Amino acid sequence: MRRIEIRKKEFLVDGKPTCFRSGSMHYFRIHPDLWMDRLVKLKQCGLNTVESYLPWNLHEETEGSFCFSGGLDVERYVGMASSLGLMVILRPGPYICSEWDFGGLPAWLLNKPGLRIRCSNREYLDAVDRYFSVLLPRLRRLQWTEGGPVVLMQIENEYGSVGNDTRYLRHLYDFFRDSGITIPLFISDWGSATVMDSGSIPETLLTVNCPSHPGPFLDEMQKLRPETPEFVMELWSGVSHRWNAPYLRHGTQDVVQDVEEMLQRGNSFNFYMFHGGTSFGFLNGALRMGDRFEPYLNSYDTDALLDEAGNPTPKYFAVQKLIRRYCPDAETGAPAPSALRKFPSVEFTGSAELFDQLSALSEPIESVTPEPMERCGQNFGFILYRSSVSFREKSAPLSLRNLADEAWVYVDGKRYGSMVCNRNDSVPVPPGRLDILVENQGRVNMAMGENDRWNKGLDGVLIQSRRLYSWEMYPLALKDLSRLRFGPYNPSPAGPCFHRAEFVIGEVADTFIRIPCGTHGQLFLNGVNLGRYRVEGPQFALYAPAPLLKKGKNELIVFEVEGLRENRIEFLDHPDHAPFTEMIR
């Protein structure tokens, strides 16, 4: 009879006292062809457990339609871990934070009148219950008690930092139990005992998240739960990175000191992250603190033990050495390096201007007023608002209401300016056909208690303080670019433009792709959106895993919003980012 028990300050796995040495790796941030490689390397470091969130906004991207295949086949991922003898911790949410768009909540929730997230609001709970009624039967089969490797599951995440609706937490707890989840359920939080207490219920195990120096966090937890095991559910190996911000590093020796403290205390811990991977496409989250809006990079290389391409860092070997010393029975090994290639540079050969290609990308939606993209059935990407303006003056000031996040303004195809959220900007425009292109750069995923606006796009346009009505809206999710029609390469398009290049390779390998001439845009490799590039950095090259490349001919498409400075694409055999800035601990 397989069982997981908590006896005072110990975890018992089939009656044996066990400390979990775990590492976070998110299956949805790793190409599925590389899952086994990353899992093997986790075990070779001396860890015995792997942990992952589950992203609701991918498993149910469209309301009522569920996906658990391909890169979202969590059961296959867990099965791979089990085949290696690893235990598994799952954190199904519904909210996961994780520097992931909207903290993993699906954007279609925003279309429900009266819905309030992360509380016992009936409309929200109905959506959560429907998702969990599909998800939890799949996870039930993976439990340790059912013969699987899953030993613990989390409900919600860091809830005490944003709210105190314990009725909501109890609803989630009861739903898990009623769905046949019998293994221990936990809640993780960080900060003071007050925060932890307001976001937990007695039936759950309480664990702590901390950027460094875990001892004081555990001491706070012990004030509330003195007779339960100590578990640092997030021991940060580094931090995530934002655009136009320093590229921070968490020193190796600092991490080693934290791990040694955990091993000496004899408590369980989970590296956040062990391997960060990549938030491909438009799935990065964002941070908003006051008037600051800062989207996260697509790279989720958090200065972790394995880098974005799956190669071990100095932290990996330092931690491995420490585990060998304190846990001589741990299984360790020599991790195989990931092959990285520098392919020859290529040039663009074709261009397709956005305003000429709208019919290939979108169907217009007519509306009296401009509406947020979610009202148009769109979750991610760009949206174009089109109308016409007429007045007697040569120009008039144009302003936007509730803009999120950045907009570019054009009249008769000519750019007249750009605007960003949280500023009372205006752009002078002449009469003519008005196009406003708005980019969704990521929904806020943390500090959610301070935010109440999640919609993307905009909901009003004013000319000389008068509202402008009668619009066409073109959702531009950019999921399928196959209908684009390219002409010759255009080095100086009037507006946003797609540029296309082809290249031929003999053997596939991981690589990093850099658009050294690009200003602001998205990069697509063989139809897959690798993510965003911005000239200000700190990320200057996007990771392209080998499984996305083809032996023979490959296609690159760049959607450049502001204009290329020269015609060149580079392939690197290493990451390219701003110099590291050491974190202050």
pLDDT for residue 446: 83
Exposure b/e, 396-435, CB count within 10 A at least 16 = b: bebbbeebbbbbbbbbeeebbeebebeeebbbebebeebb
From 305, 326, 347, give the residue that closes a domain: 326
Q: Is residue 352 part of a domain?
A: no
Residue 236 burial (CB count, 10 A): 23
Contact by Cβ (8 Å): 408, 357: no
In a domain? residue 491: yes
Residue 235 burial by CB count (10 A; 0-12/13-18/19+): exposed, middle or buried?
buried
CA-wise closest residue to 515 among 491, 553, 542 = 542
Q: Distance between CA atoms of 548 and 559, rounded to whole angstroms?
A: 19
List residues with catalytic annotation: 158, 234
CB 531 within 8 A of CB 476: no
- Tokens 């219920």 belong to residue: 201
Specify whether 540 is located in the same domain as 468. no
Cα separation, 460 vs 290, whole angstroms: 22
CATH number, residue 375: 2.60.120.260
88 CA to centre of own chain: 21
In a domain, 123, yes or no: yes
Spatial contact of 22 and 49, defined as CB atoms under 8 Å apart: yes
Short-list 526, 513, 518, CA closest to 496 = 518
Same domain assignment for residues 492 and 445: no
Q: Is 344 domain-assigned?
A: no
Bridge-based pairing of strands 247-249 and 268-275 is unpaired
Q: How many angstroms separate the CA atoms of 10 and 227, rounded?
A: 9
Mean pLDDT by 10 residues, the chain (585 residues): 94 97 98 98 98 98 98 98 98 97 97 94 98 98 98 96 94 98 96 88 95 90 91 95 93 95 95 98 92 94 97 98 97 95 97 98 98 97 97 94 96 96 90 98 83 88 94 98 98 96 98 96 98 97 98 98 95 96 74
Please report the pLDDT score of residue 447 as a whole number. 67
Residue 248 in any domain: the answer is yes
Q: Which of 99, 28, 31 lies closest to 309, judged by CA?
A: 31
Within-domain flag for 94? yes
Q: Which tokens in the block code for residue 471?
A: 């619009």
Contact 181, 136 (CB under 8 A): yes
Beta bridge partners of 366: 472
Considering the domain architecture, whether residues 471 and 492 belong to the same structural domain is answered as: no
- Check whether residue 242 and residue 164 sit in a common domain: yes
Q: How many domains is the chain built from?
A: 3
End residue of a domain, out of 457, 476, 495: 476
- pLDDT value, residue 484: 98
Q: Are residues 230 and 108 in the same domain?
A: yes
In this structure, are residues 225 and 243 in contact, taking their beta carbons and an 8 Å threshold? no
Q: What count of residues does the chain have?
A: 585
CATH number of the domain residue 191 falls in: 3.20.20.80
Q: Strands (DSSP E) along 166-230, which ranges?
A: 185-189, 205-210
Angstrom distance (rounded) from CA 349 to CA 356: 18
Give a yes or no: residue 349 inside a domain: no
Do residue 52 and residue 189 come from a single domain? yes
Neighbour tally for 487: CB within 10 Å: 11
Residue that is last in its domain, among 434, 453, 476: 476
Which residue segment(s) compose the domain that 562 sits in? 484-582
Please give the Cα distance from 425 to 400 (Å, whole number).
8
Are 363 and 426 in a shared domain?
yes
Flag whether 71 is in a domain. Answer: yes
What is the SS3 assignment for 299? Answer: strand
Q: What angle do CA 492, 495, 500 make, to 5 degrees?
A: 65
CB 110 within 8 A of CB 295: no
Are both 206 and 318 inside the same structural domain?
A: yes
Taking the C-alpha atoms of residue 514 and residue 467, their distance in angstroms, rounded to an integer, is 42
